[in-house]
Amino acid sequence: MSVNDQLADFLTRIRNATRAGHRFVDVQFSVMNQNMAQVLCEQKFVEHFLVKHEDGIGTIRLFLRYIDGKDSLIRGIRKISNPGRRKYVGYAEIPRVFNGLGISILSTSQGVLVGHEARKRKVGGELLCYVW
């Protein structure tokens, strides 16, 4: 099955898995999804992730993080930029999510970065999503 917006599928699968209380979730492999998984892992929203390639089909397995085994660390995910309407911001315009309790994720010329890291490097880009 082909997916038009792989990032939306990635975020929706994580959102559904956290609400259902699943320990892990499998998503389709793409370089963007792998970079997003790396950012979520670095920011401690997921424990770790594995990349598997079987019969020419790649998948990424994300192991979700829970507090005391029942409450997900990811309270919400919101996609900002869409294929029909991209949202670009300069480094001075990068929003703070819930006054610093959440993160904004950007696709920049230096790779996929968290909002505060992009602000520190003084680089803007496409605002992909908020995670809190």
Q: Count up the domains in the chain and report the number.
A: 1
pLDDT band at 2 (very low <50, low <70, confident <90, very high): low
pTM over 0.85: yes
Give the model confidence (pLDDT) of 55-79 as tens digits: 989 999 999 999 987 899 999 999 9
Q: Are 102 and 130 spatial neighbours (Cβ–Cβ below 8 Å)?
A: yes
The answer to whether position 92 is within a domain reads yes
Q: Which residues pair with 22 in a beta bridge?
A: none
104: tokens are 């904004």
Q: Are 62 and 49 spatial neighbours (Cβ–Cβ below 8 Å)?
A: yes
Provide the 3-class DSSP secondary structure of residue 125.
strand
The answer to whether position 62 is within a domain reads yes
CATH number of the domain encompassing residue 23: 3.30.1490.10
